[in-house]
Amino acid sequence: MIILKRLVQVLISITIGLVLLSGCSWLYEIGSEPEAKNGNDLSAAEMEIIPFEAVNQHGDTVTDKDLEGDYWMANMIFTRCPTVCNLMTPNMLNLQGKLQEEGLDVRLVSFTVDPEFDGPEQLKKYGDDYGADYSSWDFLTGYTQEEIKEIGKESFKSVVEKDPENEDIIHATTFFLINPEGQVIRSYDGLENDPEPIVNDLKQLME
């Protein structure tokens, strides 16, 4: 009986730990299957980037039109994120390094889901703390909370929702690959620190 009770306690602890680790990601996808480690092909999903206007960490204007004509990667973060962003941003940094190493000219875009707090200066500090290379990585803000909810829903089929009870914001933990025509064609688990599947896909697509 004692052994059984201890086993139950261990299982409960593991479950709680997983919930805490998922943090703001526990309810992040609308009607999608769990993220595959090596990425999901979204080509047939007809997902497209909707028009948007934002500013980056330097205060420069960035719109959807500025990103047309090239492959680019997108994710969602916020600087006060207590959990998953602390994994995703280093993973994106690792991806940036690998892309540069392979000579792949791919732009990275991180949308903040907390634009009321994350102004350009805050995002610049955040990027600096992680050692981001801004030559190919934009941290975007300058839109309203409703607008980023719309971007999440319409462009990425993802929830962006405040969770006041936990002082958190629910958002996707996915890296999205967008083609030169503005179509979202691949998704990858942003919590996986393995850039190889993304790099391999881009090599094939950009040949």
Residue that has been written with the tokens 């942003």 in this structure:
190
Alpha-carbon 108 to chain mean position: 10
Give Cα separations from 173 to 59, 65, 69, 97 (angstroms). Answer: 25, 25, 25, 20
Is 24 a known ligand-binding residue?
A: no
The b/e string for 170-202 (b: 16+ C-beta within 10 A; e otherwise) is bbbbbbbbbbeebebbbbbbbbbeebebbbebb
Length of the chain: 207
The response to whether 171 counts as a known ligand-binding position is yes
Q: Does 85 belong to an annotated binding site?
A: yes
For residue 80, the tally of other CB atoms under 10 A from its CB is: 14
Q: Closest Cα to residue 109, out of 83, 80, 81, 142?
A: 142
Q: What residue numbers does the annotated binding site for Cu cation cover?
A: 81, 85, 171
Question: Residues within the annotated binding site?
Answer: 81, 85, 171
